[in-house]
Structure 1
Amino acid sequence: MLTAPLHAETIRVATWSPELTRKGPGLLLRDIVEGEAQVEAVVAVIRAAEADVLLLTGIDMDLRGATLAELANRLEAAGAPYPHLFTAAGNTGLRSGLDLDGDERLDEPEDAQGFGRFPGEGGMALLSRLPLGEVVELTGTLWRDLPGGDPWFASAAAAEAQRLSSVAHWDVPVLTTAGPLHLLTLAAGPPVFDGEEDRNGRRAEDELRLWQVYLDGALGGPPQGPAVVIGKLNVDPVDGEGRRAVFAALTGGPLQDPAPEGPGGAAEADATHEGPPAQDTVDWDGPGNLRVDYILPQSGLTVAASGVLWPEEAAPLGGLSLATVRAASRHRLVWVDLVLDGE
C-alpha cells in the first residue's frame, strides 16, 4: 500500500491520440461544432478519464486555437471543464521546399517538416484543470544539432533544414500546490514507411533522445522541478518495429515505467506478440495491438495508480463501453496518478 506524504497533492496525468484528423483545414472544427459522432465519442472518453491534465496527440490544430477552444467548450458542456489550454504551431504540414525523404519528388506530405497535407494536421494540444507556467518549445531544433543523434539526410540542403520533431516538443509546467510538474511532451513519427536507411526509425528514436539530452542538462534543460515524459513514442518495448535502445536507457535510469494496464488489451491479446497485452494502447490492423502511448515519470516520483482506458466487451470501465472507445479512436487513453510532495 502506498502512503502519501504530508501536504501532498495527487494529480492524474493522461495522454491519448483521439485520431481527430481530417482531410483539410477547418474540417475538424466544423465537426466539433456540429457534434459529429466521433467527436461525441471522444468527449465521452475524456470525461470518463477524469484527468487533471491531458495531452492529446493526433488532433488537427489551427494557428488561432479555435479548434482547441471549441473542443474545450464541448467538454465543459459535458461536465469535464478544462480552463487552461495550450497548443502551438508544430512541424506537421510545414512546407520545407525540399526533397526531405529522398524520393526525388517535391512538395509532398513527406517533404513537410513533419508529415502533413496542411499545417497543423495531426498536431498536439494540452488541456488542464490546473494553471500552466511558461512553456519551453524545442520544436524548431534541427535534427543535426541533437547531441548523440543518429540522423539521415537526403542531401546537404536537407541537413541544413530538417527539424527533429515530427510534431512538437514542449516542456509545459503544470502549476500544482506542491510546485511545478514539467510535462515533456512529444508525438514521434512511425518507425516505418521508409527504406533501408531507416530514416523514420532513426528519427522516432531521436525524438525521445531529445528528452534524454534535455534531462541531462543540454538544449536548455534540465527542468526546474520533477518531470514526466508523456505522449506517443511510437515504439513498443517488445513487439513491432522501431528502435528501443533510448527507451530502455531512460526507463532503466532517469525515468520509471508504471506499466499501465487495461482489461480490454488483455482480452484482445495478439497470439503472435510477446509483450504484456494488458499494456497495449492501440488496436491496429496489420501490426496488431501495440504499446505506443506512454507516461514515464522521473524516478523518485510516487505513482499511486495507473491504467489504460480499454474496457472489455461486456464490462464497461468507468461507465465507458468498448463500443464508445472504438468509435472514438484506435488508440486507448493512458493515465497515471502521481503523488507530489509539497514539503
Structure 2
Amino acid sequence: MKRPWFFLAGGLCLALLAACAGSRTPMSTPTPADTDAAARPLRFATFNASLYDEEHGGLVARLADGDEDARRIAATVQHLRPDVVLINEFDYDDAGRAKTLFLKLYLGVGQDGQDPIHYPYAYTAEVNTGVPSGLDLDQDGRIGGEGRYHGNDAWGYGLHPGQYGMLVLSMHPIDEAAVRSFRLLRWSAMPGALKPVRPDTGQAFYPEAVWSQLRLSSKSHWDLPIDTPQGRIHFLVAHPTPPVFDGPERRNAARNHDEIRLWAEYLSPGEKPWLCDDAGRCGGLAEGERFVIAGDYNADPADGGSLPGSIHQLLEHPRVLRFATPRSEGAVAAAQAEPANRTHRTAAAHDTASFGPRNGNYRVDYVLPSVGLPVQASGVFWPQAGETGAGWLTATDHRLVWVDLAPDAR
C-alpha cells in the first residue's frame, strides 16, 4: 500500500459518467469469441495499482482531469494484456464513475506507445475500507479521530468509504448471479480465530461487544465465476490488511493471517456452516471446481511483518498448484540497490513490491491456480532501466504479476 504519502471537455466527461448504468455491469456488448480462443494461453494477473485518493470522489476528479499515474498503470495493463486482472487499491464509488473513466479514457486509449485494450466485463462492489463501524476498534477511548486516525475505527482502514477498493476486468463473462462476497463475515465466526491479546496482561484486546461484531475482511473477499474458453474458473480475490500499523497485540498481523485463512478454509473439505457469504449461502468451494487465487496478500513467505506461515496456508494448500514462482530479473537488480534487502530470505527474483530503503522489497502479490490448471508461463513485470515500461514503475509500489494457463486445460 503506497501511502502519502490529454485533458477533457467537461461535457464529454459528464457524458461518459452518465453512461455507467450501475457498478457491476459489462461496459459494452461483448464481441463473439474467436474460434481459436481455446487454443491460446489464458492470462490471469493481479496488480496493486495504488489508484486511490484520500478524499471522497478524489480519484474520479483525477481521472476526469487526466492522471499521469493512471496512464502508467494503463500502459502496464496494455503491455501485458491479461485476459482477467484484479486491480487492488482502486477506489470504489457507488455509481462506478472511476471504473468508467479508467476503462474509457485510459485503457481504451493507447498509452506510451501501447495499443488500447477493451474489457467487455468489469466487476466492482462495496468494500469495508473507510466504512464507519460506530465502534472503538483501535481502543483509544474514542470513536473516530483526526487525520489518519479517523480511519482506524472503520471496518477496514480507510479515510472514506471505498478507499483502497477492488476492480476485476475480464475478457470473458462473469456470472454475476453466482458471485459470492464475504464482506460481512464476522471474524469471531471463524473457528479458532486469532483473537488479539494484550501481551502485558493476557487480556483480549477487543471487548466482547466489539469482537463479536468485527468483520474479518478488511476490504472484501470475492468468488467470481468466470466462463472462459477453458471452462468455468472461480477467480478468488482479496486484499488482506497489512500486518503492521498496530501495537504489541499484533491485531493487524492476526487479521492478515485469518483473512488469508478464509480462502484456505473455503477450499478445504467440510460443511463449514459458519462460512456464510453476504447473501446467506454457507459452505466452501465444491470439490472439483477450478480456481485462481489472486491479490495483494501483504504476506511474504519468509520476510516482513506477517505471522509465520500466513501465506503458506495458500501456497501449501492441497488444492493449490505447485509451480515455478513468478520471477523477474528487474527485481534482482532492484534488490541489489537497496541495503535493506541484504537480510531478506525470500529470493529477490520473486519480489513483487518495493517498499523503500527502510523496508526493502517483498513478495506479497500472488496468482495461484488450482491443481488441474497447468501453468505455461508466469512472471513479474519489473523492467530494468532502458527496458519498456521502466518509466511506469513510479505509479505504484507494486508490480503486476501474471500467470498463463496452458490452452485447453480441461
The TM tier, using the shorter chain, reads over 0.9
RMSD between superposed Cα atoms in Å: 1.6
The answer to whether the aligner puts 1:222 opposite 2:285 as a matched pair is yes
What is the match of residue 206 of structure 1? 258
What is the match of residue 255 of structure 1? 320
The answer to whether the aligner puts 1:276 opposite 2:307 as a matched pair is no
Distance 1:99 1:171, change over 3 A: same
Q: What is the aligned residue count? A: 332
The answer to whether the aligner puts 1:233 opposite 2:291 as a matched pair is no
Question: The residue matched to 2:349 in structure 1 has which SS?
Answer: helix
Deviation at 1:43, TM superposition (A): 1.1
The answer to whether the aligner puts 1:31 opposite 2:62 as a matched pair is yes
Deviation at 1:35, TM superposition (A): 1.7
Question: The residue matched to 2:50 in structure 1 has which SS?
Answer: coil
Provide the C-alpha distance between the structure 1 equivalents of 2:360 and 2:142, rounded to a whole number of angstroms. Answer: 32
Mark the structure with the bigger radius of gyration.
2
Question: The residue matched to 2:62 in structure 1 has which SS?
Answer: helix
Provide the C-alpha distance between the structure 1 equivalents of 2:192 and 2:78, rounded to a whole number of angstroms. Answer: 41
The answer to whether the aligner puts 1:305 opposite 2:370 as a matched pair is no
Deviations 1:154-178 (A, max 9, x none): 2112112110001110001111122
The answer to which of 91-100 and 252-261 deviates more is 252-261
Provide the C-alpha distance between the structure 1 equivalents of 2:346 and 2:160, rounded to a whole number of angstroms. Answer: 36
What is the match of residue 3 of structure 1? none
Deviations 1:216-258 (A, max 9, x none): 1432211562011110110111111112324224322321354
TM-score (norm 2): 0.78
Distance 1:170 1:340, change over 3 A: farther
Deviation at 1:340, TM superposition (A): 5.7
What is the match of residue 196 of structure 1? 248
Question: The residue matched to 2:311 in structure 1 has which SS?
Answer: helix
**Gaps in structure 2 of 5+ consecutive residues:** 1-37, 111-115, 145-149, 197-204, 276-282, 336-340
Letter paired with 1:138: F
What is the match of residue 239 of structure 2? 187
Deviations 1:173-210 (A, max 9, x none): 11112211111111011101111111000000100100
Question: The residue matched to 2:392 in structure 1 has which SS?
Answer: helix
Q: How does 1:53-202 map to 2 (within 5 A)?
A: 53-74=84-105, 75-78=107-110, 79-107=116-144, 108-133=150-175, 134-152=178-196, 153-202=205-254
TM-score (norm 1): 0.92
Deviation at 1:17, TM superposition (A): 0.7
The answer to whether the aligner puts 1:242 opposite 2:284 as a matched pair is no
The answer to which of 148-157 and 273-282 deviates more is 148-157
What is the match of residue 323 of structure 1? 391
Give the conservation status (yes or no) of the 8 Å contact 2:374–2:409.
no
Provide the C-alpha distance between the structure 1 equivalents of 2:166 and 2:212, rounded to a whole number of angstroms. Answer: 25
**Gaps in structure 1 of 5+ consecutive residues:** 1-6
Provide the C-alpha distance between the structure 1 equivalents of 2:327 and 2:311, rounded to a whole number of angstroms. Answer: 18
Letter paired with 1:123: G
Provide the C-alpha distance between the structure 2 equivalents of 1:305 and 1:147, rounded to a whole number of angstroms. Answer: 37
Provide the C-alpha distance between the structure 1 equivalents of 2:220 and 2:237, rounded to a whole number of angstroms. Answer: 8
More strand by share: 1
Identity of aligned pairs, percent? 37
